[in-house]
Structure 1
Amino acid sequence: MEKTLSIAGLLRFSVLTTTYYTERFDTPEKTAGYLFSPERMKLRFHLFEHLCLPSLLKQTDQNFTAIVLTAKAMPERYLDRLKALLRPVPNIHCFPVGTGKHYRLIKQGYDRIPDNGVSHRALFRLDDDDAVDRDFIARTRRLATGLMALQTPETPFVIAHNRGFYLHKNDKEPEVFDAVERAPLSVGTTIVSPVDSPVNPYRFNHRNLPQHLNTFTDISQPAFIRTIHGDNKSRPAQIGLTHMMSEAGIDAELQAYFGIGSAQLKSL
């Protein structure tokens, strides 16, 4: 049987769940108060509109689907704004879901993606405050197609994009620095598997994926921009090499691979 491939991703945009943020809030109502506060919504929309979404719109290969998973409970003004942003984009869809367990809602989002008659899917994850390089889809397709030839048809495997940049927004001067990670990062991590496989990139902690699935890491070029700011759910940590490049080198690679310079990135 010929192996054929489609590429699809899922982005969470302020999803309200009963099993997320429980270390900080003991009821969904308190979680909602935090998630949908005006200050937080201003930050999330700003990073989504100026960093995350443009990185998908700039893809050299537009043959992919993305689901933006969000909450039905989001105040109407924010939900309308999100839908309006995505309405002109034919391959990126807003999918509001009810309040439930986090991973079940994630599965609902991926289940919305049609299989289009292919044998395999490459499913990636991306957060609403991060970005991928503009060749991300094309490179993922090339790597997945080649690596499928090395696997038995039913074997899921991971493609992790471990080289990129961080934007650290703090009270002082924002910092942009380079990194090559030792373990899979969340940004752009992809699982390639048969269409009927239940596994997706949120099934395991991204750092632990090599414990569960064959994992191939790509550092051939910068693939991600990860933002560190006051509203990160996790505590971002760099596990690997950092600060190896000059400022001029960083700016040149940001321009070449993301279409954004250091100064513009710092101003976000």
Structure 2
Amino acid sequence: MQVIGLCRFSYPAEGGFQVEHGGLKERQDYLYSPARIEERFRQFETICLPGLKAQTDPDFLFLVLVGESLPAPYAERLTRLLEGFAQARIVARPPGPHRKVCQDVINRARDLDQPCLQFRHDDDDAVAVTFVERLRGAAQSCKGLLENNGLVAIDFNRGYIARPDAQGLAAEPNLTPFYGVALAVAAQAGVRQTIMNFGHNRLNQFMPTISQTDSPMYVRGHNDHNDSRQKKHVKPIELPRLNAAGEAKFRRIFAIDADHVRQVYSNT
């Protein structure tokens, strides 16, 4: 079964942000501001990409949606980071309605005559190296449910919240249903709706769901530029520093290397 992931890398969509802007230029200025984009690149490199590149099942497609307005130096840097990642494909689009654009990007990449597994992925989040393998296994185990429904959500709801910095990683365990990471939708042949047509925390209102909670499958990246942290009255999250055993666990499960984190954050 085809597996497709979609990552929006500072794409200036119409809608799709919890914080609104006065117009397209204001949104682009916000997305491409040096401090913010640098943070996105650092987390994309150290948190997001390692586990995807190390998947035990490499048969998937990873679409990175960017705006056609992405400044050339950033576009070149993104291309360099994706070198050697055969599953990755950069898709540049002009601004447009968030859900419609994301739906079209996914559907153009899939075979609509066949069922498909789709997952959404933020550029500062990570999945376990077994994610695609486990996703296919869950779909196979619930084959009857999938065949009898146009859309079915598959949610791996146990993981971590983590903050990278020059000292390494601070993180704590987390269990949150429909968190938006390690979350997928199985779409049957001919179904044009995608995982991006729904708010991730409301998927269970529109389709049957499968919850997997046996092992950690995600890292939710935490930083000052998270879209959800731009709202008023957002309380800071205090995260404990990982010790050597915790760092080794992150390397084993997510391919996230705390030494690489320290290097990248110390050099910028």
TM-score (normalizing by structure 1): 0.85
2:81 to 81, 85, 101: 85
1:27 alignment counterpart: 23
1:229 to 214, 223, 232: 223
What amino acid is the match of 2:118?
L
1:119 alignment counterpart: 114
| In structure 1, distance between residues paired with 2:37 and 2:185 | 30
Structure 2 CA distance for partners of 1:199 and 1:247, relative to 1, 3 Å: farther
Contact 2:110 2:116 (C-alpha < 8 Å) held by counterparts:
no
1:12 to 8, 13, 19: 8
1:45 to 37, 41, 48: 41
Higher helix fraction (1 or 2):
2
Q: 1:91-170 alignment to 2 at 5 Å?
A: 91-115=87-111, 119-168=114-163
User: Which has the bigger relative contact order, CA under 8 A and spacing at least 6?
Assistant: 2
Partner SS, residue 149 of structure 1 = helix
Quote the offset at 1:248 in angstroms. 7.0
| In structure 2, distance between residues paired with 1:90 and 1:251 | 27
Q: How big is each residue's C-alpha offset from its partner over 1:28-60, in whole Å with a ceiling of 9 and x where there is no partner?
A: 001111101111111111111112111110101
Contact 1:17 1:102 (C-alpha < 8 Å) held by counterparts:
yes
1:175 alignment counterpart: 170
Contact 1:12 1:127 (C-alpha < 8 Å) held by counterparts:
yes
Q: 1:213-224 alignment to 2 at 5 Å?
A: 213-224=207-218
Contact 2:47 2:221 (C-alpha < 8 Å) held by counterparts:
no
Structure 2 CA distance for partners of 1:219 and 1:7, relative to 1, 3 Å: same
Structure 2 CA distance for partners of 1:263 and 1:49, relative to 1, 3 Å: closer
Quote the offset at 1:149 in angstroms. 2.5
| Count of residues paired in the alignment | 256
Structure 2 CA distance for partners of 1:28 and 1:22, relative to 1, 3 Å: farther
What amino acid is the match of 1:120?
P
Quote the offset at 1:222 in angstroms. 0.8
Structure 2 CA distance for partners of 1:20 and 1:82, relative to 1, 3 Å: same
Structure 1 runs not aligned, ≥5 long? 237-242
What amino acid is the match of 1:162?
N
Partner SS, residue 160 of structure 1 = strand
1:211 alignment counterpart: 205
Partner SS, residue 99 of structure 2 = helix
Structure 2 CA distance for partners of 1:16 and 1:256, relative to 1, 3 Å: same
Structure 2 CA distance for partners of 1:193 and 1:114, relative to 1, 3 Å: closer
Q: How big is each residue's C-alpha offset from its partner over 1:63-89, in whole Å with a ceiling of 9 and x where there is no partner?
A: 001110011011111112212332432
Partner SS, residue 122 of structure 1 = strand
1:200 alignment counterpart: 194
What amino acid is the match of 2:131?
F
Quote the offset at 1:27 in angstroms. 0.7
1:240 alignment counterpart: none
Contact 2:247 2:257 (C-alpha < 8 Å) held by counterparts:
yes
Q: 1:235-250 alignment to 2 at 5 Å?
A: 235=229, 250=246
Quote the offset at 1:105 in angstroms. 1.4
| In structure 1, distance between residues paired with 2:202 and 2:109 | 26
Contact 2:147 2:188 (C-alpha < 8 Å) held by counterparts:
no
TM-score (normalizing by structure 2): 0.85
| In structure 2, distance between residues paired with 1:138 and 1:103 | 27
Quote the offset at 1:255 in angstroms. 3.4
Structure 2 CA distance for partners of 1:25 and 1:177, relative to 1, 3 Å: same
What amino acid is the match of 1:8?
I
Percent sequence identity over matched residues?
Answer: 26
CA RMSD of aligned residues (A): 2.8
